[in-house]
Structure 1
Amino acid sequence: MARAGDVGVIGIRAHAAGSLTDRLDRDSAPDSDVARDHQRAMSLAPLLLDRYSTLSQAALRFCLDNPDISTVAPGFKSVAEVEESAACSDLPSIDAATTDKLSALFRTFYHNRFAQ
């Protein structure tokens, strides 16, 4: 809808509050949404880490590959994270088969939360 109206979309929270990174670097209760989401995200590693160095890179590449997202605004805590994120634009796109698998996992993980 935004693209049809020539309106840009900014992808924010690409790392889902740290859930889509290799390790959580914040205190969170084991039963918190962030901890649960991070545990789920770790199951994505076998699909992505043969092509990307980190889940963080894969998360940003996923957003960059989406034609409905004009730009991505990730969060940073260090210069190394800025450099890692900047390098994502030069990484290969996530292939269609992997994107389909990620979509299926998303539906499995969040079926009850987003069921209509």
Structure 2
Amino acid sequence: MEFEKHIQDTCEHLEELVSLMGGHLSKDLDSISTLEEVLTSVVNENDEEATSGARYLIAVYLGEIVISEAGGEWIKSTISNNMALSIDNQQSFPLEAVEEFIRNPKNGQLEFFAKGLISANRI
């Protein structure tokens, strides 16, 4: 229960930050482009601490979008030290998807990650 509260608080914090920037987030696929825009602007500031914080916030929010569309839950990964999404006993890693975006940003990359998980788990 405490972990679920942490996830909820993390999402609310990011929603507030994006609102202060003039944007809007909701836990649906349409918000992924906003997540990419926010992450790109933070990365372009060349502030490692801000990028690290944004990486985590955005990964959690991305995971929550997937959960809202396809179900699943957050778990501590049995594969890596990171938290992961578990959908039908398959682990997925939003944090790694966001890290890849930071290293090599491409528009639509996070949406591709989310839609791939959602479509694979709707079948």
User: What TM-score, normalized by structure 1, do the two folds share?
Assistant: 0.30
Q: Which has the higher contact order (CA 8 A, sep 6+)?
A: 1
Structure with max Cα Rg:
1
Higher helix share: 2
Greater strand percent: which structure? 2
